[in-house]
Amino acid sequence: MGTLNSISPFTGETQFEPIAESTAADVEAVVARSAAASAAWARLVPTERARALRAIADALDADPASLAELAHQETALGADRLVGEIARTTFQLRLFAEELESGRLLATEVDEALAGLPPVGHPRLVRKYVALGPVAVFGAGNFPFAFGQLGGDTASALAAGCTVIVKDHPGHPHLAQTLTSLAQTALAGAGFDADVFQSVRGMAAGAALVAHPAVQAGAFTGSQKAGRALFDIASSRPEPIPFYGELGSMNPVFITQAALESRRDELATELATSLTMGRGQLCTKPSVIFVPDDQAFIDALVAALSAVAPGQLLSPLSLERYVQGVSGVAGVSGVTELIPTSAGSDLTVAPGLLATSYENFLQNSEELLEECFGPVGLIVRCSSETDFDTAIGHLEGALVATVQAVPGPDAELARHLVDELSFIAGRVVVNGWPTGLAVTPWQHHGGPYPASTSVLHTSVGSQAMMRFVRPVVIQNVSDDQWPGLL
């Protein structure tokens, strides 16, 4: 049996006690308990599931400072930021509770009978939603609360009536265990079966979860490589299951000449802030910036990035992958390092900035669009906005794209860019920045592959719960004839 060690992102050394990975027998036992709890959980009235979500939220809010400090020791994300992330997490849990209490998303819909033959005539049809069953959740390392153990995937699956099994993240194993215990205690204390939420540990356990015939869906936030491997397992099962993977992306930014002329320094400062938020470890980070060649803007951006203090990435492995990724892009012919990437002996990195010409981007776009998860961006120097269309044609699917323009002078150009970018991105931001994702009922956090594996669905916002239900139509049934059947 293998073990998981918590690695300090500050020293690279092991900390706390090692944690045993789940064996094959452990996974079988956890899935069996989850499956056994599934039917009763799915049949609970929505307001009861709402009460369970609120119980978990209240437990998180009871001592956020201690939870944030533990998370900081395992991720170096900063205790203050993590306290805020806990608030976002409890907001999400209560948002889904409100949706369940309102009945908006899971409402039963009725087509009353119409006399005659199809397609006009039809019997009485009642459309309702049923939960899929146990869901395997793989949380993120960069948001250990909001996209982690008790984050949006877990909250939305529980809200939909599915039991949840989380594969603990190896980057914060002690926090994961703490959160599992907290949630189970909260559920039991509120009178619910604690087996509706469980977790397992280890890569083999995660793969076994997705392959297990009792597991009915998967949700993942992480790297393209790991997400694609799990997606392939889910798709190749004898009974394939939906796998909702958010795999990250190279998020493009397009800045018009008029925008540069009207607010050059402001754009440089804002871009530097967005690019380095969370030390660049955000899936919505602006990654590749297309801009008319303007040395004053680039000088301002270099100055703004150079003023950002170095900081630790999530783990030694994150640092290794980041340095390798940046080295690979910087090594492409025609790429200039405007700010060379630097990594300190204490696992810190300072922001970096790369640049290349529009022509070189077209020639080497596949190599240049390699995601580097950290505080670095790639500037593509264009001759003018006329280069933007062709550049868009070389981009992969993205979670978000950004347009910086001036209302009035850029009206037609902005309309055209938004229209074109809508084909490759799940969200298009105009005169704002992509980092800082609002949790709202109609938010969309997904995009064409490789940004996500299911382009129609979102992992953020109320609609996320609809990933884990399916519609069923009951025909020729009414409450007066069949009381209690519906």
Whether a cis peptide bond, with omega within 30° of 0, leads into 119 is: yes
Neighbouring C-alpha atoms within 13 Å toward the C-beta of 171 = 25
* Active-site residue, 246 included: yes
Q: What does the CA dihedral 466, 145, 227, 194 come to, rounded to 10 degrees?
A: -60
Residues 417, 12: Cα–Cα separation, whole Å: 44
Give me the residues paired with residue 461 across strands.
none
Angle at 28 between CA 27 and CA 29, to 5 degrees: 90
| Catalytic residue from among 162, 283, 372, 382 | 283
Alpha carbon separation from 476 to 118, 119, 125, 481, 486 (Å, rounded): 15, 16, 7, 10, 11
Cα–Cα distance, 426 to 8 (Å, whole number) = 35
| 8 Å CB contact between 127 and 108 | yes
H or E stretch covering 402: strand 401-404
* Strand-pair category, 348-350 with 342-343: antiparallel
Listed residue (364, 371, 313) closest to 342, CA to CA: 313
Nearest partner of 466 among 107, 84, 167, judged by Cα: 107
From the list 99, 246, 385, 420, the catalytic residue is: 246
**Helix H or strand E segment including 73:** helix 64-75
| Nearest-angstrom CA–CA distance, 401 and 254 | 8
Identity of residue 245: G
Rounded Cα distance, 414 and 409, in Å: 9
CB 310 within 8 A of CB 330: no
DSSP per-residue codes, 377-390: EEEEEESSGGGHHH
Tokens (6 digits) for 349: 């990195």
Could you list the active site residues?
246, 283
